[in-house]
């Protein structure tokens, strides 16, 4: 099973790449975390946010593996505790399908793409900068993994 972090944007600052890589490298071989970057659409910066979101959604859809469980990162989604995320990760591993976690660009995910996801996960009611989301998701998934495996990283 793979955990795929499908994110809009590339050429992140060095601290973002380093933070993400620090957690991604800690995952075991049977549970890999992989980042797939897709380019941001130029349309949003030209004032056509809806067209930009649609183009980004098409790009993200093309990167989703067939039969993957799709989870949209969205501040309007459900907030999960660390234990709830660990329980979900456990169930996802039993299911065996790849997990595609979708991170939109500065204008967020296209509404249709967001609605089509099997689940919507809110990291916070705050709007987080999309580069930071990569690090937070990687750390939280790693934390959930360590909780399941009895590693002392997570302390209740």
Prediction pTM value: 0.93
Is 9 one of the annotated binding-site residues? no
User: Quick count: other Cβ atoms within 10 Å of Cβ 62?
Assistant: 9
Domain at 32, CATH number = 3.40.1280.10
- % pLDDT > 90, the chain: 83
Confidence of residue 128 (pLDDT cuts 50, 70, 90): confident
Q: Which two tokens stand for residue 76?
A: 């309007």
Tens of pLDDT, residues 5-34? 999 998 899 999 999 999 999 999 999 999
Residue 156 lies in a domain: no
Please report the pLDDT score of residue 156 as a whole number: 65
pLDDT over threshold 90, residue 44 = no
CA angle at 109 for the pair 106 and 113, rounded to the nearest 5°: 165
Is 128 one of the annotated binding-site residues? yes
- What is the Cα–Cα distance from 123 to 77, expressed in whole angstroms? 8
Domain that holds residue 28: 2-149
Confidence of residue 154 (pLDDT cuts 50, 70, 90): confident
Is 33 one of the annotated binding-site residues? no
What is the Cβ-side half-sphere exposure of residue 153, based on CA atoms within 13 angstroms? 16
Residue 144 lies in a domain: yes
- The label of the residue with tokens 């991604």 reads 24
Q: How far is CA 156 from CA 137, 144, 152, in A?
A: 19, 12, 10
Is 146 one of the annotated binding-site residues? no
Residue 87 lies in a domain: yes
Is 96 one of the annotated binding-site residues? no
């Amino acid at each position: 099973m793979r955990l795929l972090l499908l994110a809009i944007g590339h050429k992140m600052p060095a601290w973002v790449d380093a933070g993400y890589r620090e957690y991604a490298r800690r995952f075991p071989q049977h549970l890999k975390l992989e980042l797939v970057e897709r380019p941001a659409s130029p349309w949003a910066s030209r004032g056509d946010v809806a067209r930009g979101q649609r183009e980004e959604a098409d790009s993200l859809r093309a990167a989703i593996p067939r039969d993957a469980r799709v989870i949209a990162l969205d501040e309007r989604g459900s907030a999960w505790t660390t234990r709830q995320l660990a329980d979900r990760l456990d169930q996802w591993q039993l299911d065996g399908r790849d997990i595609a976690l979708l991170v939109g660009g500065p204008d967020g995910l296209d509404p249709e793409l967001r609605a089509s996801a099997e689940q919507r996960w809110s990291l916070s009611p705050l709007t987080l900068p999309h580069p930071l989301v990569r690090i937070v998701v990687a750390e939280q998934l790693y934390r959930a993994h360590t909780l399941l495996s009895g590693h002392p990283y997570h302390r209740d």
